[in-house]
Structures are given as structure tokens and as C-alpha cells.
Amino acid sequence: MNGIDGGVAIVTGGAGGIGRAAALRFAEEGASVVVSDVDEDGIAETVDLIEADGGEASAVVTDVTDADAVAALVDETVETYGTPDFALNNAGIEGRTARLADQTLDDWDRTIAVNQTGVWNCLQAELSAMVDGGGDGGAIVNTSSIAGLSAAGGSPYVASKHGVVGLTRIAAAEYGREGIRVNAVCPGIIDTEMIARAEVEMGDQLAAMTEAKPLGRMGDPEEVAAAVVWLCSDDASFVTGHPLVVDGGFLA
């Protein structure tokens, strides 16, 4: 894709699923990739996969709920490869699917901390680096969900993913004149470990929901990754503040 080759990308939640697929796609398109997650073994495996394919990558263990740790991640990126050109803020958890009154405050706090405050922490550090780097701007994608545009999931998860869309829009509005584009990707039911856990809980209900939708199947992480990297590319140069739905028609 135009404009990715030679760039520097940060991917959080890169130990598997959409994050790993996006890290691999960024590297395939010629970017140097810093892969981050709390799962040290997982990000090491992602880096190994990139390097085995001839790409350049490094792993940094980061808890996105820790603002200092996120700042250190971005600082290490700058020291190793230079100012980040792209970022995918993908780290997230699904939380519990219980009804609102059956959720606990701990359920709420943990889900919001990872999914929403984690994105806030990443945006603050990434935007500062892009502005201070004096380059030609940059492109950031935040992972929301169809739950960021509907009531699909438990209340903490839905609230957190709606919050990601809101953060995406305000960041796009505030930093557009500095050449920084900020978008969100809103995946539907994607074949990841998160969905595998949901299948255990929901059983045939999840399969029935998937089959009833227009494309009648789960998405692959690589399909979301392609959308993420497109949003970061010059091919999407006039796209910002947009929550791009990648859901096989789930919300249609």
C-alpha cells in the first residue's frame, strides 16, 4: 500500500489475533514494527514471524493502563527506529457479558482501564511524539468494535468501545491540521481467542448469530489487518475521524 514502506509502526495488543495480523501486514508492506503487549512470549513470537519473513521488528512488554509504561514504549520506538509514522492501539479485553445490574464495579473499572484509558494513554504518547518529531504527520488507528456502534456485549465493553470512537473523533479533529489522521476500526465477529472464549460461554447462539448475517461467517484477523494498514496508508489520505466497520454485514 502506498506510503507504508520505510515507515515506523507501533502495534499494541500484538501478541495474537488482530494485533499480530496487523503487525505482520505492516512489516510485509515495508514498515519497521514495534510489537507490544503484556504477553511477553506472544510478542516475541510475533517478532519471530516478522523476522522469518525478512521484516524488521522488536518487542516491548507494555501494560497500556500504565501511562508511564506507554510513554516508555513510544520513547523506545523513537530511540530504535525514529518517530512513529503509524500506530494501531489494539490492546483490549472483552470483560463480562452479564447484564448491567449484575456487573461489579471491578468489572467496569478493569474494562474501562484497558479498553478506553489504554487508548487514551497511547494517543497521548503517540500524538506527542508525532508532533514533536517534526515530520509529515502520521496515522493512528484505534481498535473499537461493532460494540462501539451498537449494544453488542456487556455494558462495560460497550461503553468502552463507544468511548474509543469518541476519542478517535476528537483526536482527528484536534490534530488534523498537523497532518495526523486518526481513525478507528470496528471489527465484528473475528476468529480470535476472544471469540473462542465467547463461543464457550454462548455455544450455538454465537454460531447462529454469525450464520444469520449477510456473509454468514466469521472474519479473519488478516481481513481486519488489511483495513487497518489501508487506513494508515496514503490511499486513505482523506479519511480521518472515521469508525470503519469490518463486520461481514453484521450491522447491516
As annotated, the active-site residues are 157
Residue for grid cell 512489516 = 27
Question: Measured between alpha carbons, how far is 62 from 10 in angstroms, rounded to an integer?
Answer: 12
CA distance 28 to 56: 10
Give the span between the Cα atoms of 214 and 206, in whole angstroms: 15
Tell me phi and psi for residue 133, to 5 degrees.
-70, -15
Q: Are 211 and 35 in contact (CB under 8 A)?
A: no
**Which amino acid belongs to residue 142?**
N
What gap in Å lies between CA 74 and CA 70, rounded to an integer? 6
21 close to 27: Cβ distance less than 8 angstroms: no
Query: How far from 70 is each of 34, 141, 160, 176, 232, CA to CA, in Å?
Result: 12, 16, 19, 23, 21
